[in-house]
């Protein structure tokens, strides 16, 4: 067996053995193999047959994809100068290969011939519905991948893909580096009001550097509680300014994303023109549920109109409370989280910090696993695999004694790990044509929680718990699929604006009393969350939901306008300002540069797709309403029959049908916005 761990794709990635020096030699071999395979399948000896093409091409590209996926994952969660250099050295050639593969006219011709041949066959000899959908999506992918372009246009399209990949990677690196680079040392007195567990962590961080006091950073487990609880207004302003100007012209020139944003947007608009579209938003929407940019913007503006009265009321209450109770007649951006927390405590007589003492990480995980086991008729068991950091854990999911999926859980924030939370796939479910065995899906579930200090477990805020449930929803969508065709199993082939349905669906359980009891045990006493405190949380659930809704609409409308209006790259700030004037009730200071760290649209998959979060909220709220409608005093919402229907119609079906067909198979009708407005207290 080869000594290069990236070439061993027979089992799980050998994360504990992969080193930067393995990357280039492995890709030399894997890319050469993929090139040879592409040459073979596009030649005359391989027929336009689904199995014949899959046996060669899918096997080779899946092997390449898994190795490159492992490198990309390490670049996100265990970044070092060496791994970053190896990743960036190989990114252009991997991008170039996939761009060429997706635009290969000979391969496109074989897929078209395969599709055409289906029409003359008797129904029983045609491709299965899942395979036909995979073929339809592949054909659409060829068109969007430039397969119908010729000559200079085709060469330029390929160059654009490479440039975009490099610039998006640079954008992401600048955000990570700007986040990691900031530190501020504060005394205990300056941090008056900040929770004890945060003080312990910041003190430990300072001590690790041989310094006095507390080390403050822009990582969420530190930044957010300081903004919420620190009474020192100057300190809050210092952190806010640093956070709001990350990767902008306010910092070092080598980390400024201003030009990268303009370049990425210009490249996307050029790509759209080459493909015959008026703008990149139109291209982005082809594989989504929404029909066109105008429809999306109408949806967002309609929702903004419904939410705005609630948002204006939220803001007026906040300003009044700041003036009368906090001595802040001029509420500033760095006061909002602090005053909001004080107002919530005054109105509902509890704080996030009080709640956090009950959500100890081991209990949360046990409760989450128990919920999944009951609802979806599976078992989650500890498993073993090589990992990239000592805090990473690995689990298997079984149904009736059979392994159906596995996942890595990487819960804690640390230097060299990009911010945020996400699910990523390691491999998909697939009945392999080379071995005839069914490959089980494997997922990464990544969060950025604060680690426990000393012998104390990590304490999660209720928002952290919701984030964990959200990412598990994505993971279940990937892992519980029963589709065996790789292009449409799990989340593959699912419309991007429906991919958030299973994740947002899971968030609802964080507000159910029966569930929350199983998620809580006080860090000192072991007691469950008291009902009185839970009732206060529920009363506060829609606290500032109007403000939060218009803020999400602000991001979504900014994203859609940016990509639907060619020329916007010349003045990104102007688009930000116009959108805020239209929908925001709380306009940030002029120095705020949130767009410079908006990785979702500049370095993620959400370009002209950020609206998906709101769109999918409609789907997820309506799906969850099925559990509410069937709830009984005995079972609550944990109805295994409805859970089975949901699992079979949505989770197991994956991308083998359209998202609308999946939804209608579960609910018996198209989705309605009513449940969302009710859930958010805006009906």
- For residue 46, being part of any structural domain is answered with yes
Q: How far apart are CA 74 and CA 407, in angstroms?
A: 16
**If we measure between CA atoms, which residue out of 63, 75, 74, 1 comes closest to residue 37?**
63
Both tokens assigned to 134:
């995979």
Supply the CATH number for residue 51's domain. 1.20.1050.40
Could you list the residue range(s) of the whole structural domain that residue 433 is in?
361-539+613-679
Q: Are residues 88 and 186 in the same domain?
A: no
CB 327: neighbour CB atoms within 10 A?
8
Distance of CA 508 to the CA centre of its chain: 18
Q: Which tens digits make up the pLDDT trace of 419-447?
A: 899 999 999 999 999 999 999 999 999 99
Q: How far apart are CA 506 and CA 681, in angstroms?
A: 19
In contact, 651 and 376? CB cutoff 8 Å: yes
Q: For the chain, give the number of residues.
A: 683
Q: How far apart are CA 446 and CA 472, in angstroms?
A: 10
Q: How far apart are CA 636 and CA 512, in angstroms?
A: 8
Residue with tokens 């492992």: 70
- For residue 457, being part of any structural domain is answered with yes
Q: Are residues 518 and 557 in the same domain?
A: no
Q: Identify the helix (H) or strand (E) that includes residue 355.
A: helix 352-356
Q: Are residues 186 and 96 in the same domain?
A: no
- pLDDT value of position 677: 80
**If we measure between CA atoms, which residue out of 188, 582, 543 comes closest to residue 336?**
543
- pLDDT value of position 322: 98
Q: Are residues 127 and 20 in the same domain?
A: yes
- For residue 617, being part of any structural domain is answered with yes
Distance of CA 410 to the CA centre of its chain: 14
In contact, 380 and 372? CB cutoff 8 Å: yes
Number of H helices, E strands in the chain: 27, 9
Q: How far apart are CA 390 and CA 414, in angstroms?
A: 12
Q: Which tens digits make up the pLDDT trace of 584-631?
A: 999 999 999 999 999 999 998 899 999 999 999 989 999 999 999 999
Q: Are residues 236 and 278 in the same domain?
A: no
Supply the CATH number for residue 510's domain. 1.10.1370.40
Q: Are residues 522 and 441 in the same domain?
A: yes
- For residue 177, being part of any structural domain is answered with no
Instruction: Write the DSSP symbol of residue 457.
Output: P
Residue ending a domain, choose from 193, 221, 245: 245
- For residue 11, being part of any structural domain is answered with yes
Both tokens assigned to 299:
């949806």
- For residue 164, being part of any structural domain is answered with no
Please give the tally of structural domains in the chain: 4
Q: Is 115 exposed, middle or buried (0-12, 13-18, 19+ CB in 10 A)?
A: middle
Both tokens assigned to 170:
């640079």
Supply the CATH number for residue 314's domain. 1.10.1370.10
Close Cβ partners of 251 (under 8 Å, ≥ 6 residues apart): 178, 181, 245
**Phi, psi angle pair for 434, to nearest 5°:** -85, -30
Q: Are residues 24 and 109 in the same domain?
A: yes
Q: Are residues 507 and 650 in the same domain?
A: yes
Residue ending a domain, choose from 94, 118, 144: 144
Q: Are residues 127 and 55 in the same domain?
A: yes
- For residue 304, being part of any structural domain is answered with yes
Both tokens assigned to 538:
């529920």
Q: Identify the helix (H) or strand (E) that includes residue 281.
A: helix 280-285
Close Cβ partners of 320 (under 8 Å, ≥ 6 residues apart): none
- pLDDT value of position 2: 60
Q: Are residues 412 and 524 in the same domain?
A: yes
Q: How far apart are CA 247 and CA 176, in angstroms?
A: 9
471 in catalytic set: yes
Model confidence pTM above 0.85: yes
Residues with pLDDT less than 70, the chain? 1-2
Task: Please tell me which residue in 190, 270, 271, 471 is annotated as part of the active site.
Answer: 471
Q: How far apart are CA 128 and CA 657, in angstroms?
A: 12
Residue ending a domain, choose from 245, 262, 290: 245
Q: Are residues 535 and 550 in the same domain?
A: no
In contact, 445 and 409? CB cutoff 8 Å: yes
Q: How far apart are CA 281 and CA 443, in angstroms?
A: 29
Q: Are residues 494 and 446 in the same domain?
A: yes
Q: How far apart are CA 627 and CA 608, in angstroms?
A: 32
**If we measure between CA atoms, which residue out of 208, 149, 555, 155 comes closest to residue 414?**
208
Residue with tokens 């992918």: 141
In contact, 497 and 612? CB cutoff 8 Å: yes
- For residue 169, being part of any structural domain is answered with no
Q: How far apart are CA 136 and CA 482, in angstroms?
A: 20
Q: Which tens digits make up the pLDDT trace of 535-569?
A: 999 999 999 999 999 999 999 999 999 999 999 99
């Amino acid at each position: 067996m080869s000594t290069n761990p990236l070439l061993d794709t027979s089992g799980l990635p050998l994360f504990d053995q992969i080193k930067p020096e393995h990357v280039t030699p492995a890709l030399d071999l894997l890319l050469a193999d993929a090139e040879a395979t592409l040459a073979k399948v596009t030649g005359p000896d391989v027929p336009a047959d689904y199995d014949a093409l899959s046996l060669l091409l899918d096997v080779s590209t899946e092997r390449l994809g898994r190795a490159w996926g492992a490198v990309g994952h390490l670049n996100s969660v265990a970044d070092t100068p060496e791994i970053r250099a190896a990743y960036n050295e190989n990114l252009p050639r991997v991008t170039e290969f996939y761009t060429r593969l997706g635009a290969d006219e000979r391969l496109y011709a074989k897929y078209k011939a395969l599709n055409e041949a289906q029409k003359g066959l008797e129904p029983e000899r045609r491709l299965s519905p899942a395979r036909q959908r995979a073929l339809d999506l592949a054909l659409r992918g060829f068109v969007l991948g430039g397969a119908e372009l010729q000559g200079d246009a085709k060469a330029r399209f390929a160059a654009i893909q490479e440039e975009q990949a490099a610039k998006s990677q640079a954008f992401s690196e600048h955000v990570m580096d700007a986040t990691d680079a900031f530190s501020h040392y504060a005394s205990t007195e300056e941090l008056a009001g900040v929770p004890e567990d945060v003080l312990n962590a910041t003190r430990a961080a300072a001590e690790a550097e041989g310094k006095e006091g507390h080390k403050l950073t822009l990582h969420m487990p530190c930044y957010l509680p300081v903004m919420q609880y620190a009474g020192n207004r100057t300190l809050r302003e210092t952190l806010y300014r640093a956070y709001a100007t990350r990767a902008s012209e306010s910092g070092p020139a080598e980390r400024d994303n201003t030009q990268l944003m303009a370049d990425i947007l210009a490249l996307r608009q050029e790509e759209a023109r080459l493909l015959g579209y008026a703008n990149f938003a139109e291209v982005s929407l082809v594989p989504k549920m929404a029909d066109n940019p105008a429809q999306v913007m109408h949806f967002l503006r309609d929702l903004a109109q419904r939410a705005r009265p609630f948002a204006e009321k939220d803001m007026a209450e906040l300003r009044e409370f700041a003036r009368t109770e906090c001595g802040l007649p001029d509420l500033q951006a760095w006061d909002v989280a602090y005053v909001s927390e004080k107002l919530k405590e005054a109105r509902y007589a509890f704080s996030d910090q009080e709640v956090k003492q009950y959500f100890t990480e081991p209990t949360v995980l046990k409760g989450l696993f128990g919920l999944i086991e009951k609802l979806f008729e599976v078992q989650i068991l500890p498993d073993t695999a090589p990992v990239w950091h000592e805090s990473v854990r690995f689990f298997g999911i079984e149904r009736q004694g059979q392994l159906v999926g596995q996942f890595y859980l990487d819960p804690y924030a640390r230097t060299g790990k990009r911010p945020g939370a996400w699910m990523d796939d390691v491999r998909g479910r697939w009945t392999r044509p080379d071995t005839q065995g069914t490959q089980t899906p494997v997922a990464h579930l990544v969060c950025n929680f604060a680690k426990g200090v000393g012998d104390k477990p990590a304490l999660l805020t209720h928002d952290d718990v919701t984030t964990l449930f959200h990412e598990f929803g994505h993971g279940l969508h990937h892992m519980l699929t029963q589709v065996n065709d790789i292009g449409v199993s799990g989340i593959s082939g699912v419309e991007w604006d429906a991919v958030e349905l299973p994740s947002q669906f899971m968030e609802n359980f964080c507000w159910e009393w029966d569930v929350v009891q199983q998620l809580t045990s006080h860090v000192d006493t072991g007691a469950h969350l008291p009902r009185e405190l839970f009732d206060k949380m529920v009363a506060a659930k829609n606290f500032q939901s109007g403000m939060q809704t218009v803020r999400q609409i602000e991001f979504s409308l900014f994203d859609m306008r940016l990509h639907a209006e060619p020329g916007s790259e010349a003045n990104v700030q102007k688009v930000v300002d116009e959108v805020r004037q239209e929908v925001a009730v709380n306009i940030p200071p002029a120095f705020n540069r949130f767009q410079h760290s908006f990785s979702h649209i500049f370095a993620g998959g959400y370009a002209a797709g950020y609206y998906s979060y709101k769109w999918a909220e409609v789907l997820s709220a309506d799906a969850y309403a099925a559990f509410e409608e069937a709830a009984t005093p005995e079972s609550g919402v944990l109805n295994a029959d409805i859970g089975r229907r949901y699992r079979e119609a949505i989770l197991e079906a994956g991308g083998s049908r359209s998202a609308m067909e999946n939804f209608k198979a579960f609910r018996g009708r198209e989705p309605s916005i009513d449940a969302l407005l009710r859930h958010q207290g805006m009906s």
